[in-house]
Structure 1
C-alpha cells in the first residue's frame, strides 16, 4: 500500500502484520478441500497525515458479498440491539408513519423488520443475493445493489429522500470511502440524518481485538478519522455514542454539512480520549503488535497443553473474526476438533485456511468436551448464558481476547 485511500498521502506506517490469510467468510465445502485456496496479506497500516487505519484492498466487495455466509438474525443480542436502536431513533427524530428509512447493507432485515412493524416506509440496500432474498421473504423491501453515488441518486429519485439512513457495520467494508459517503449523502434528505455504527479503533487497540482485522474490513476508524471521511462526501458529525457492540463501537450521527451545526460535547470528549491515547501520533500504535503476539502465544500454549493432557477442545461460533484468529495462530483440527454455529448455512463446511469442521450446536452436548473456545468473544454475556449447560460435565469456556480467560460456568 503506497497511498492512503482517504487523503492520498504516502505517509503510511505499519501497525501490525498478521501474515497472509484467506478471506474470512470463504467457508469451504467438502469438495473444495483438495483445491487451491488463495490467501492474501493482512497488514494494518495507519496514515500519519489523516490517521485512517487501513489494509490494502486486495479483494473486492463484489468477491465477498454477492453470496454471503453471515446472517445477522442468528444473533439474539444483535436483533435486540437493532430493536432498541429503532425505538430510540424513532423517538429522537420523531419518525412517524410518514417517514422514510433506508438501511445500507441491510443483511437479512434484522433491523428494518422493526421499522416495518412500526408502519414506517423503508428500504434495504443489500448487495448479497442470498441474504437479501431472506429479507424480502421476511417482508422487508430490499434492493440488491452496492451503494454508490449513482445508486443513492436512483433510490432518491424513485422513493424520495430518506429521513434516516442507517449504515451499521458497513463503513469499514468499502474501499471507496469517498464514493460510499457520497452515496449516503445522495440518499439522505437535506435536513435528514445518517446513523453509522462501526468498530472504534480506540477499543480495538486497547483491548487487543486484532481478530476484527480481516479483508472485509478495509479501514478502522477513530472519531477523528471518521469526521474526515464524512466530510469527503458532504456530511458532518453531530453526535457520537460509545457502544459495547463488537467489543466497542461508535455510533456516528451525521447530517448534511449545511444543516449540521456544532458537534455535541460527547464528540469533543471522545476526540480528547483518542488524543490522550496517542491515536493522532505514532506512539499510540507502536506496542500493539507485541500485545497481539502475546495473545497468540498464550492461546497456543493452552491448546497444546490441553492436547498433551488428552483433553478435548472444541469451538463455539464460526464468525469471520474467528478465522483471523485461527489462521494467525495456526490452529487446525489437531488442536481444535471442530467448531459449531447456529447458522445452518455453515454446517458441513470448513473454516477457511485452517479447515476446522463446522457442525450444528447440538454436538457440544453430545460430545461433552473439556473446553469450549468461544470465537465470537464480543458476545460473551449472551454466549456464557447459552453455554451454561457445559457445567453439567465440568466443561469450561475459554475466551481468547483481550487476554486468555478460562471460565467455570455457573449453573
Structure 2
C-alpha cells in the first residue's frame, strides 16, 4: 500500500500493525518525521510522474494507492493522475477522497474555498482526468466528511471490474443539478452575500444589545468566513480551539486571539459561533455546558441558525 500525502502516518500505522507492507509519500518534514517515528517508511517528495517512475524502478509499485484529501491541493492534476497510472500494479486499486463540488454549490459552502486548493472537483471531472491517462472509476461512496465528500475507486482502464450503479447515479445527479454547464453556478455569489449579510447583521444587533460573542474552532474555513465578512474583535471577542499549537496565536486577517476552552467557561458568552460547521454535531455535544448559563451555539453556513 502507498499513501500519497500520508501526513503523520495516522492511517498507515494500521497497515504497519497488520503486517501489510506500506509506504508514505509526504513532502512536509515535520509530519513525515512523526510518521517515521512510528516505524513507517516515508519518501519526502511531492507525488507525480517522476516519483511514480522511481517507485516502479525500486520495485514499489502498489496494489493499493490511497489519496485522501490531497487532489484539491495538487497544482498539476494531470501529472498527478499519470503518476497514479504508472505506480499502480496491473490489478491494483486507487482510492481518492475529496470534497464533492455538488455539495459545495448546493449548500453554499464557500468557506471551503481557500488558497491551498487548486481545484474543486465533481465526479464527472475526475472521470475525465482519469480516462485521459488510462484509468477508470468503477465505484463511488458518498461520505459526510467536509460537508459531503466522495470516495472514488479506480483501476486501470483495461481492468475487467464492472461499473457500479452508484457511480452512474452520482454522475446523473451532477448533470441534473447543472454542474456540466454554468447553470449551477449562476446565483452562487448572491447566495454567499446573503450569508454574509445575515451573519454580520445578527452580530451587530447582538453587540448593540450588549451581548458577548465568541467563536469556536480556528479552522481554515472559519478564517475564510471571518475575513470575507470583515469580522474583527469589535464583533467577536476571541476564538476557542482545543489545539495547544494554535492557542496563544491569532486568526490571520481578523487578528482574533485563539484561546483554550477554559476561557469560554470563565467568560460565559451569550453566543458561540461554530466556525467548522462540518463538525457541528460533535461540537454541539462537546459544548453542551454553554446552555447552563443561557448561552447559545450558532452557525452561519449554509444558513444562520441556532444549534
* Structure-1-length-normalised TM-score: 0.72
Which of residues 286, 302, 309 in structure 1 aligns to 2:209? Answer: 309
Which of residues 115, 119, 122 in structure 2 aligns to 1:219? Answer: 119
- Partner residue, 2:191: 291
- For residue 307 of structure 1, report the CA deviation from its aligned partner: 1.4
- Distance in 1 (CA, whole Å) between partners of 2:220 and 2:70 is 14
Structure 1 residues 156 and 342: CA distance shift in structure 2, 3 A: farther
- Partner residue, 1:73: none
CA contact (8 A) 1:237 1:260 kept: no
- For residue 252 of structure 1, report the CA deviation from its aligned partner: 0.6
- Distance in 1 (CA, whole Å) between partners of 2:276 and 2:38 is 26
1:245 and 2:145 equivalent? Answer: yes
- Partner residue, 1:163: 63
- Partner residue, 2:258: 358
Structure 2 gap ranges (5+):
none
* Structure-2-length-normalised TM-score: 0.95
- For residue 263 of structure 1, report the CA deviation from its aligned partner: 2.2
- Partner residue, 1:110: 10
Which of residues 41, 45, 58 in structure 2 aligns to 1:141? Answer: 41
Structure 1 residues 361 and 175: CA distance shift in structure 2, 3 A: same
1:231 and 2:105 equivalent? Answer: no
CA contact (8 A) 1:179 1:233 kept: no
Which of residues 221, 225, 228 in structure 2 aligns to 1:325? Answer: 225
- Distance in 1 (CA, whole Å) between partners of 2:58 and 2:295 is 56
- Distance in 2 (CA, whole Å) between partners of 1:198 and 1:184 is 16
CA contact (8 A) 1:314 1:337 kept: yes
- Partner residue, 2:106: 206
- Distance in 2 (CA, whole Å) between partners of 1:337 and 1:134 is 35
Structure 1 residues 389 and 135: CA distance shift in structure 2, 3 A: farther
Structure 1 residues 378 and 122: CA distance shift in structure 2, 3 A: same
Let me know the Cα RMSD of the aligned residues: 1.5
Q: How many residues align?
A: 307
Structure 1 residues 226 and 365: CA distance shift in structure 2, 3 A: same
- For residue 262 of structure 1, report the CA deviation from its aligned partner: 4.3
Which of residues 140, 163, 175 in structure 2 aligns to 1:275? Answer: 175
For residue 193 of structure 2, give the secondary structure of its aligned residue in structure 1.
helix
- Distance in 2 (CA, whole Å) between partners of 1:316 and 1:188 is 42
Displacement over 6 Å in runs of 4+: none
CA deviations over 1:259-298 (Å, ceiling 9, x no partner): 1544211111111111111111211110111111111111
| 164-173 vs 112-121, which moves further | 112-121
Structure 1 gap ranges (5+):
1-100
Bigger relative CO (Cα 8 Å, ≥ 6 apart)? 1
